[in-house]
Structure 1
Amino acid sequence: MRNVTFGINISLDGYCDHTAFNPCEDVHDYFTGIMEDADLIFFGRIMYQLMFPYWSDIAKNQSGSEDENRCAEKLCSIDKVVISRTLEHAEQNTRIIRSDPAGELLKLKQQPGKKIMADSISLLPELIAAGLIDEFHFVVHPVMMGKGRRLLDHNSIGNKLNLRLLDTIRFKSGCVAHHYLKQ
């Protein structure tokens, strides 16, 4: 069975507003490295629309920094699934699924292949509750925001989820990446 990994940038106080962060080269390289082990990304609609066409434009025009261009190329080359009842169109190599996110991810997890990256804050509680997330990559930024979207709401995952720290990386930017496995 394939592993499902979830990775996100997060503030010290638990907020996930990507517009508040200024990822540097090493953070982009970190996430690009995670994508090397994946052949599918499982998006919620909101995250998908935050990422595309932004990253596909960077990949196409090579308009970012070197590390952003590498990240964009890798991100765009991986097949994607987006869960949405309202999204009408998606970019190439992206399939739209209309319902049952946990059931669909379980089917994908049972197929042969590399890791699956889950990228949706809104679907995260459901995917955790279904036992579908095997590992987590949290890149903690040295900022406290005090407002915004939280990674998890109070009581959103039901039971406690025990994790085992696999690795920690400190970046020159002050960010710290923590890689956890579900126990």
Structure 2
Amino acid sequence: MRKLIYAMNLTLDGYVAAAGDDIGWSGPPSPELFQWWLEREQASGMSLYGRKLWEAMSSFWPTGDEQPGATPAEIEFARNWRDTPKVVFSSTIDKVDWNTRLVTGDAIAEIRRLKAEDGGPMTIGGAKLAGAAMRAGLIDEYAIVTHPVLVGGGTPFFTALDGWVNLDLVETRTFPGGVVLTRYETRR
């Protein structure tokens, strides 16, 4: 069975985007943090995206390695991003590219099916999609990259749950700029 990992940048007050889907609060990551994200992406066997995160990622990474001044890590990230199988869950778009498949039906049923397959871990991104997987009890690991900023509202990282989910802390790490990683595994 595949492991499902929910990993995103968020604000200290728990938002992945401020009001109006503004993610400008995160700024460019430090080289150390970008390297951590690159290693996470390289370890992933498949990426699952909601529409908004897909649109953000696909607007840059298909040609990220061709951008003027791209660092070696950014070049590697772009190449890995293109090569990694991706699934986008959306009922409002009709086309995806770059080694990607579109699912317009029941996201939870498809995520359960994908988890039952053999293969490397899967990452899930996009608060709405991840929230549905969280409510269904499908998230195996949370990688929370907290930035030292308060935005006061927006799109929360966590969703409302029907019951408690007990977690075990497996890693903490501090990055430049006061960014803190905390990684938790779901206690089964």
TM-score of the aligned structures, taking structure 1 as reference length: 0.92
Aligned to 1:53: 59
Aligned to 2:162: 158
Higher helix share: 2
Letter aligned with residue 11 of structure 2:
S
Query: Contact 1:63–1:69 at 8 Å: present in 2 too?
Result: no
Any idea what the Cα deviations from partners look like across 1:87-141, whole Å, max 9, x if unmatched? 1211120000011111101101111110011112012221012111100111111
Aligned to 2:20: none
DSSP-derived class of the 2:110 partner: helix
Query: Contact 2:83–2:98 at 8 Å: present in 1 too?
Result: no
Letter aligned with residue 148 of structure 2:
P
Question: Could you tell me how far apart the structure 2 residues matched to 1:62 and 1:91 are?
Answer: 23
Given the alignment of the two structures, is residue 20 of structure 1 paired with residue 25 of structure 2, yes or no?
Answer: yes
Question: Could you tell me how far apart the structure 1 residues matched to 2:37 and 2:9 are?
Answer: 10
Aligned to 2:106: 100
Aligned to 1:127: 133
Aligned to 1:85: 91
TM-score of the aligned structures, taking structure 2 as reference length: 0.90
Sort the Cα spacing of 1:92 and 1:49 in 2 relative to 1 into closer, same or farther, 3 A.
same
Query: Contact 1:43–1:82 at 8 Å: present in 2 too?
Result: yes
Moved more, 65-74 or 128-137: 65-74
Letter aligned with residue 182 of structure 2:
H
> Equivalent residues in 2 for 1:144-155 (5 A)?
144-153=150-159
Aligned to 2:2: 2
Q: CA deviation at 1:31?
A: 1.2
Q: CA deviation at 1:49?
A: 0.5
Letter aligned with residue 15 of structure 2:
Y
Question: Could you tell me how far apart the structure 1 residues matched to 2:174 and 2:81 are?
Answer: 23
Q: CA deviation at 1:76?
A: 2.1
Q: CA deviation at 1:73?
A: 2.3
Sort the Cα spacing of 1:69 and 1:19 in 2 relative to 1 into closer, same or farther, 3 A.
farther
